[in-house]
Amino acid sequence: MVRARRDESPAQASQRDDRVLTATRVLAVALVPILLTAFVILYAFPGDTARLFAWTIRPELTPMVLASAYLGGAWFFVRVARERRWARIGAGLLAVALFAALLGIATALHWDRFNHGHPAFWLWAALYFTAPLLVLAVWVANQQVAAPPRPDELRLPPVARALIAVVGALALAQGLLMFAAPSAVIPDWPWTLTPLTCRVVGAVFCLGSAGLVVLVDSRWVRVSLMVEVEVVMLTLMLVAGLRARGDLHGERALTWLLLTGLVLTLLASLRLWWVMATADRATRSCLRGPGTG
């Protein structure tokens, strides 16, 4: 949690108003059209990546999984551009920085797999070699105006907080394993992967690390947007699984474990969002008091 420093002057403390800085909004606005374009290409035309994308991706389920992350990211950055409170978006930006950094590293490691003459590759390389630094820079700048928690802010129940932390830790661990040791994952994965696509899917899993913020801050505001993004991503991934069900290896136990985990996580996320959003409205109504608009 953010606490006022003892050596801060009153003027410095007054700057901690939790606003979203202009630089953060500008970066968000710049990223949205890129993410939406990538989503349309990969989700609507997953079999045409050789012609339309930065590299040829097979089978079709993999580009649709990546596209799911892109639409979730587009929703996140649309909200960032309109958001007033830094607390709602800070954890998500750190996860995005990690995701982008991993894709930049994967690009360097598998340079020969990309379509170097395609404009989509130029955009891909420019994005993932610069975005980690840009996102981290706006996070550091915006963190300087992060406000300490207020006592009247809605907190997560202990069970929900623990579950979010566990899911975030498992997603991060799975993602880092896929990125660091693709050869250990590929033989048992629910669909066919290459070392490059294994690392890309691993980077998608690492987006779940945003949930680890609950270890230091139990406010609902810190994860409410992350839950929305998760619902978008998981819904699209499950639809992708139906569309490309022929790509799934039904004889592998991990296939059914992963699908079950995605469904249960989606249902739990929807339930959490409903319960906490209802409680949040009730809390704000009580704070306003009777007769207020």
Domain ranges of the chain: 15-284
pLDDT in tens, 59-75: 999 999 999 999 999 99
What is the rounded distance in angstroms from the CA atom of residue 222 to the CA atom of residue 232? 18
pLDDT at 200 over 70: yes
Confidence bin at 11 (pLDDT 50/70/90): very low
CA-closest candidate to residue 114, choices 128, 100, 94: 128
For residue 91, the SS3 value is: helix
DSSP 3-state helix, strand, coil percentages of the chain (rounded to 5)?
75, 0, 25
Tokens 């580009």 belong to which residue? 63
Confidence bin at 280 (pLDDT 50/70/90): confident
What is the pLDDT at residue 91?
Answer: 97
User: Considering only 9-13, 100-104, 165-169, 187-191, which range has the smallest mean pLDDT?
Assistant: 9-13
Residue 291 backbone dihedrals phi, psi, to 5 degrees: 80, 0
Average model confidence (pLDDT) across the chain: 93
What b/e string do you get for 165-192 counting C-beta neighbours within 10 Å, with b at 16 or more?
A: bebbeebbebbbebbeebeebeeebbbe
CB proximity list for 268: less than 8 A, separation 6 or greater: 163
Q: Answer whether the bond into residue 148 is a cis peptide, omega within 30°.
A: no
For residue 214, the SS3 value is: helix
* Start-to-end CA span in the chain (Å): 31
